Amino acid sequence: MNEELILQHGLTLDEFQVIRKYLNRDLSIEELGIFSAMWNEHCCYKTSKKWLKKLPTDNEIVIQGPGENAGVIDLKDNDGIAFKIESHNHPSYIEPFNGSATGVGGILRDIFTMGARPIATLDSIRFGLIETEKTKYLLNGVVHGIGHYGNCIGIPNIGGECEFESTYDFNNLVNAMAVGHVQKDKIFYSKPKSIGSLIVYIGSKTGKDGIHGASMASDVFSEEDEDEKRPSVQVGDPFMEKLLMEGCLELMSSGLIESMQDMGAAGITSSSVEMASKGNVGVYINLDKVPLRQPLSAYEILLSESQERMLAVIDKKNNHKVREILQKWQIDYEVIGEITDTKRVVFESNNKKVVDLPVEIIVDDAPEYDREFYIPRKRKNKDFDFSKIKLEDMIINLLTNLNYLDKSWVFDQYDSTVMGDTIREPGQSSGIVKIHGTQKVIGASTDCNPLYIRINPYEGMKYTVAESYRNLIACNINPLAITNNLNFASPLDPNIMGELVLSIHGLKTAAVKFNTPIVSGNVSLYNQTNEIPIKPTPVIGMVGSNMDLNKINTNKFCEIGNKILILGKQLTKNCSPYLLQDQKIAFNICEFNDLEVLDLDFEKKIANCVLELSDLKCIMSCNDISRGGIFSALLKMQYKDMGFRVKVPDPIDLFCEYSAGYVIEIRSKDFEEVTSFLTNKCAEYLEIGEIIKEGIEINSKKFDYFDIMNKYRNDFEKIIS
């Protein structure tokens, strides 16, 4: 086989030699395609596996950890929650609408493949600076795509994050998360049960879209690639997915399915190989039986990533019943093969075996690298000059920065109330939905602080996990488990690899401390274009619960006259990275001081105070303090034309970041009870002011409430239009 062909398939020559040696024969082009699909980063985690193994993935509530289509946790009674986050970064840069839409489609399939009905989606999207020519186009396309798919299939989008930063100029990130509800005794796994069962193809016909998508996703970009790679982006059809979802859920609840796999990245290849590997069996598939949209070669069928397709295993005797249900939903269905005892993956086309490989070589012998990595040098701390900073300018700096403005423009394009169970919509610290027919609620939040992680990957990652944690705590949601999406640049650069290794280490430390295991996840590497690497962006999706929907907090001001208290510990102004960056005090990443060490025990202590006070109904509203400090938190809390009057020793304190930071609103009559509770717990608090009508006052200086609120609410749309 010629070298060029091997390299084109994303394999190194060393990797090819391993295969060649094992098989002791030449490979067919179809077999080469299979290795290309299965041995890339996206499918086999060859760079990250060594480090991911160190993460905590189990505790008393984990039903299914990483390794299946989604993780599942126990929510008492017969309720399980399945969830996962996944990236669609590269496709969303090349074709933002379809790239992001199919990202949502893919993650929803991961959820209902487990037998779970999706009940919420979230996202985490990052773009370059708005001044960069393409950003507006990408933002419009991505938001439209996410909205279109989710709205049409009818799953509420309940939250997410959206950031603008220069390193994403040519590498926007689109991570989509989905949460589903499953009955614990009806969870479906990808492992087939018996030899001789039929392998059936369910869903859309196979076309040319997405061929080599998974290996594209594992590639470094150059700008010229864009047009050339567009045909590798899949095209989504949410209507088809809606039918597929209802059809599959009906099949599963009728007990007609043994196991199921989504044909996602690397299509029929990946789903059938995984099936064989999980069950320690073989698969035989006749490619001539695969429903096609257009004439395709065996090679193309194997690598197509056409959307809205599932591979299922059924008992022969159920063939007729399965066909009947799928006909009702107008879904294509074909028996294409069977489970064998050979432990080999065999694909036939035109009466010829085009692929005949032992499962072992594809899965178990997949490469795993221990790449070189550097640990960042310790930073020397210094004092910055804050003498020229004025309060008015600080406010203007926030109100002219997209990252601080109200993102209604984004989430108003998403249906967040369909299914009728939504309790907290996007724009609050976490999204919350009710488990249908119960009093239980699920809260979820997606977060990342790339600036922190670039400054100090280990500590920065702890802060990121803590931010998700606080987002849930602020709503009186008990954090339970994590899904992660590790977006990084090329791991071949030891500096980048160092960020990957250290941030996984930070994730581990925080997850162990919070008892929030990592139950699912995704890795997206090589996010760099023209040698510009993205900031390290390991996104956390944290899920939690409250068994009683009447106990959750709002993040919005409740009543004029109520007091405003601050909990937590302020980071010093010299060590508040977003303050320094966004107030234009530090510009270059090397200027920043190191992060203060985050005390996770302190985080837990304050969190427990918030949870207890919430259960005592002493908290009228609560918001966490993150980027933009207390001021930004207060802006987010404004509601029904209520504002705030506050007094602080130094106005700069209002913009500093926090550890374990929360703003809480309490009634005057509860003040004694709350403060003595906090004093008993040795939790320091700061009383800073009160809620007032239509006003913003800081240290007796009055600001124009409606001017600030208009800018906060409406300027996002003005800036991006």
Positions marked active-site: 42, 88
Question: What are the backbone angles phi and psi of residue 424, rounded to the nearest 5°?
Answer: -125, 125
Which one, 558 or 600, has the nearer CB to another protein? Answer: 558
User: What's the DSSP call for residue 346?
Assistant: E
Work out how close the CB of 473 gets to another protein at its nearest, in angstroms, rounded to a whole number. 20
Residue 180 binds another protein, judged by CB under 8 A: no
**Which among 184, 2, 153 is positioned nearest to 75, based on CA atoms?**
184
Q: Are 185 and 134 in contact (CB under 8 A)?
A: no
**Which listed residue (238, 267, 279, 536) binds another protein by CB under 8 A?**
238
Burial class (CB in 10 A: 0-12, 13-18, 19+), 388: exposed
Residue 477 binds another protein, judged by CB under 8 A: no
Which one, 156 or 450, has the nearer CB to another protein? Answer: 156
Write each residue from 622 to 641 as x if it is in contact with another protein (CB under 8 A), else as -, in one continuous string.
------------------xx
Which one, 316 or 436, has the nearer CB to another protein? Answer: 436
Work out how close the CB of 120 gets to another protein at its nearest, in angstroms, rounded to a whole number. 14
Work out how close the CB of 412 gets to another protein at its nearest, in angstroms, rounded to a whole number. 5
Which one, 280 or 327, has the nearer CB to another protein? Answer: 327
Q: Are 218 and 39 in contact (CB under 8 A)?
A: no
How far is Cα 366 from Cα 45, in angstroms, rounded to an integer? 9
Residue 408 binds another protein, judged by CB under 8 A: yes
Residue 706 binds another protein, judged by CB under 8 A: yes
Contacting residues for 455 by C-beta, under 8 A, at least 6 apart? 379, 577, 589, 592, 594, 595
Work out how close the CB of 125 gets to another protein at its nearest, in angstroms, rounded to a whole number. 16
Residue type, 327: Q
Residue 151 binds another protein, judged by CB under 8 A: yes
Which one, 414 or 578, has the nearer CB to another protein? Answer: 414
Residue 183 binds another protein, judged by CB under 8 A: no
Q: What angle do CA 46, 52, 56 make, to 5 degrees?
A: 160
Write each residue from 412 to 441 as x if it is in contact with another protein (CB under 8 A), else as -, in one continuous string.
xxxxxxxxx-xx----------x-------
Work out how close the CB of 147 gets to another protein at its nearest, in angstroms, rounded to a whole number. 5
Residue 387 binds another protein, judged by CB under 8 A: no
Q: Are 642 and 557 in contact (CB under 8 A)?
A: yes
Beta strands in 556-715 (DSSP E): 563-570, 621-624, 642-646, 658-666, 685-693, 696-698, 701-703
Work out how close the CB of 709 gets to another protein at its nearest, in angstroms, rounded to a whole number. 7
Residue 147 binds another protein, judged by CB under 8 A: yes
Residue 587 binds another protein, judged by CB under 8 A: no
Residue 152 binds another protein, judged by CB under 8 A: yes
How far is Cα 308 from Cα 263, in angstroms, rounded to an integer? 8
Question: What are the backbone angles phi and psi of residue 159, rounded to the nearest 5°?
Answer: 165, 180
Structure-token pair, residue 566: 């601050």
Residue 205 binds another protein, judged by CB under 8 A: no
User: What's the DSSP call for residue 658?
Assistant: E
Q: Are 594 and 378 in contact (CB under 8 A)?
A: yes
Question: Contacts with another protein in 457-476 (CB under 8 A)?
Answer: none
Work out how close the CB of 150 gets to another protein at its nearest, in angstroms, rounded to a whole number. 10
- Interface ranges with another protein (CB under 8 A): 144, 147-148, 151-154, 237-240, 242-243, 329-330, 408, 411-420, 422-423, 434, 549, 640-641, 706, 709-710, 713-714
